[in-house]
Structure formats: C-alpha cells, structure tokens
Chain A
Amino acid sequence: MNLKQMISAQARRMAARSPWIYRINAGSCNGCDVECATTALIPRYDVERLGCQYCGSPRHADIVLVTGPLTARVKESVLRVYAEVPDPKVTVAVGVCPISGGIFRDGYAVLAPLSKYIPVDVNVPGCAPRPQAIIEGIAQAIEIWRGRL
C-alpha cells in the first residue's frame, strides 16, 4: 500500500507539471483573447515554461479559459463544448466580462455572470487583463488542479 501510495503521489506530481489549456470565446470582444494569445505565442510571456500548451481540441484540455460575457447566442455551444472537456478540469474566467458582464452588463443579450451556468474556479479581473495577470491566474489554476488530480 505504501509503495502504491508513493507511486501515485509521484505520478500526480509529475502530471501537475503538464496542464493543457483550451480557450473558449463566449461572445468576447476578443481583447482578452488577444492577451491570451500573447501568453501563448509571444516569447516575452512564454507560458510553455510552466508546461502549459494551448491545445486545439477540448478533449485534450485540463484548464479551460473562458473569455467574454455569455451571450444568448453562444450559450448552448459553450455549454456543449464545456461538457466535452474531460475531468478533472479547472475553469478560469479571464477578464471582467465572464465575472459580472463587464462593460456589457445589463445588456439584453448578455447572460453574465458565467458562474450561474458553469462552475468557475479562478477569476482574473481586468479589461483586458495583462498577460502577466493571466499567467498569475493560470498559476493559481494549476495549484487548484494539482489538488484535484
């Protein structure tokens, strides 16, 4: 039992060093999407140091970044794609739009806050948040994910 526990603890530690990120745009103005892209692509804010990798398929993801207030038009699609992400997963709301609606609050097609529809774990306020702030949010999300493995 002790050896098995040691092996599984070591496996969890190793697995926590490779969180893969998937980005869902829930009706965003793309400002936060641009900042998320800079954390992936621009050498200045390399997020691959933390072992992260932006993957092209929701089935490969561990951390889900959601940008944008949930507009009525994409709500069904976002909920469907979110259900495709396998457990265990951590959700990060990037920008103030998914948290409270941001600048689009009280709009007739805006269904923010996102936490009413999917369970959000980390909020990263900002409009748009700095790439460093997004990396800080991802680092907190990795800590939470490490506990869920």
Chain B
Amino acid sequence: MNYIKTLIQNLVSGPSTVSYPFGPAWTPDNFRGRIEFKLSSCTACRACEQVCAPGAIRFDKTPEGLRFMMWHNTCVFCGLCEHYCPTDAIKQTTDWHMAHTVDQEYGMAIRETIAYVTCTGCNAKTLSSAPNPAGVEPPFTAEEIEQHRNLCPACRKKALAERGAAS
C-alpha cells in the first residue's frame, strides 16, 4: 500500500525532468567530452597515436611537416591520449554537443600540421621541437632552451654533450 503514498508524493513534488532541450543542460566538471588539440604544444612524440584505443589519431608524413589527423566520429572518449601526452597538447573538454547530420560527417575531424624547420646546426629538415614536457624544469636558461629547440636531434645531442663536457 505504500505505493499510494509514493504516488501522492510524486504528484505533489512535480516533475523531476531536466529541462533540456528546452533549457540548458548541466555538465559535470570532469566530464569526458570532445578532444581539442593545441598545435604549439605538440612535440610529435606520437604517444597519443600509440595509445588511442579505437585508432582515431593518425600521423602522416607530408612535404610540409607531420600531419596530425583525429576523427571525432571514431573517438570513444577514453582519455588515454590526454593521460599520456607529455606536453598537454591534446586535452578533453566537457563539450558533448556533437550530434550532426551526415553531410557534416567528414568535417568532424582535427587536421593540423606540425611544420618542418631547418636545423641551425646542419641545415637538415627537422620537426620543430615543442616546449618542455609538463611539470619538468630542465636546468637551462631560457635562451639556451630556445637555442636547443632549433637544432635537429643529432645536433642537439652534440650540443648537450659539449655543454656537459665544458661544465
């Protein structure tokens, strides 16, 4: 008989329906939503491509640089890429408004190119190296970091070895 009490309580309390789509929807702060990619922070380590569960992230070599491609329609929002990215270049936002019609299907992607630069040491084409991994403070001054960034990996190894030998 206590369901009659429940029914009366339900009538009195009114609907508990959220007002979406006729009003705004509440999203929790740590909701795993759409991926966003910050080109200036990417160091092209390709860790996200390795760990992406459904294989939504792909890197391709092009004449201009390394092209980063990510398909929102394959992403399963697991957050592994954000977890493993050393420089916080790929992050998950709380955006979940991604329903779209099929004509926009091939536009739901991120396509960015990490450009090649010329090494100041040996003039070879190399990928521009990104800022330091998050939370790491190397014992160099800012000018030294800038200098090392414009070297290819081989020249950088030589420069650091000479610096170590000199100190």
Contact = CB atoms under 8 A, between A and B. Distances in A.
A24 interface: no
A122 B102 contact: yes
Given A122-B101, A132-B25, A136-B97, A96 B17 contact: no
Instruction: Label chain B's interface by main secondary structure.
Output: loop
Interface residues of B, number: 28
Q: Of A102, A123, A140, which is in contact with the most chain B CB atoms at under 10 Å from its CB? A: A123
B73 to A, nearest CB: 4
B142 interface: no
Instruction: Label chain A's interface by main secondary structure.
Output: helix
B18 A44 contact: yes
B116 interface: no
A133 B99 contact: yes
B100 interface: yes
Nearest to A115: B102
A123 B73 contact: yes
A139 B25 CA distance: 15
Interface residues of A, number: 32
A126 B96 contact: yes
B77 A126 contact: yes
A102 B76 contact: yes
Given A106-B55, A123-B100, A123-B105, A136 B15 contact: no
A121 interface: yes
A149 interface: no
B19 to A, nearest CB: 10
A122 B99 contact: yes
A43 B16 CA distance: 6
A125 B21 contact: no
Contact of B76 (A43, A96, A130, A135): A96
Contacts of B77: 126-127
Interface in A104-125: 105-106, 115, 120-125
